[in-house]
A = this chain, B = another copy of it.
Amino acid sequence: MSERVPILQIGDVLLVSIQTDLDDQAVLYLQDDLAARVVDSEAHGVVIDITAVEIVDSFVGRMLATIASISRMLDAETVVVGMRPAVAITLVELGLSLGGVRTALTLEKGLRLLERARETSTGDAPASRPW
């Protein structure tokens, strides 16, 4: 049985940290779980932390793009954080430039980016910064 990737919540942002190689079933679970959580929590952002990912292939690249597309449809923006230089090079070589996906170097920067995007789009300042 495939492992389920845990989804954490920080304020109104959902955080997914990819720690291990995911098989097809685990990716499908993650997409389902995340879509459900975005709707339940009314999250405005999703951060996918790939710091632990050293090697990326087209399967993982497509997963990132798919998760970002699903989240966008549910009104949440996705930021991929912790991308290693070699991973960026591989994704470009694979022709997967992750068009609609924003990136940030660190988790903290990713959270700030989502916070700013929200302020710009809603005009609201968040009530508090939980980080």
Contact = CB atoms under 8 A, between A and B. Distances in A.
Interface in A67-100: 69-70, 72-75, 83-86, 88-89, 91-92, 97-98
Interface in A6-39: 31-32, 35-36, 38-39
Contact of A88 (B74, B85, B116): B74
Nearest to A79: B75
B69 A92 contact: yes
Interface residues of A, number: 34
A53 interface: no
Contacts of A35: 85-86, 88-89
Q: Copy number of this protein in the oligomer?
A: 2
Interface of A: 31-32, 35-36, 38-39, 42, 66, 69-70, 72-75, 83-86, 88-89, 91-92, 97-98, 102-105, 109, 112, 116, 121-123
13 contacts: A32-B89, A35-B89, A36-B85, A69-B97, A73-B88, A73-B91, A73-B92, A73-B98, A74-B88, A75-B102, A116-B121, A116-B122, A116-B123
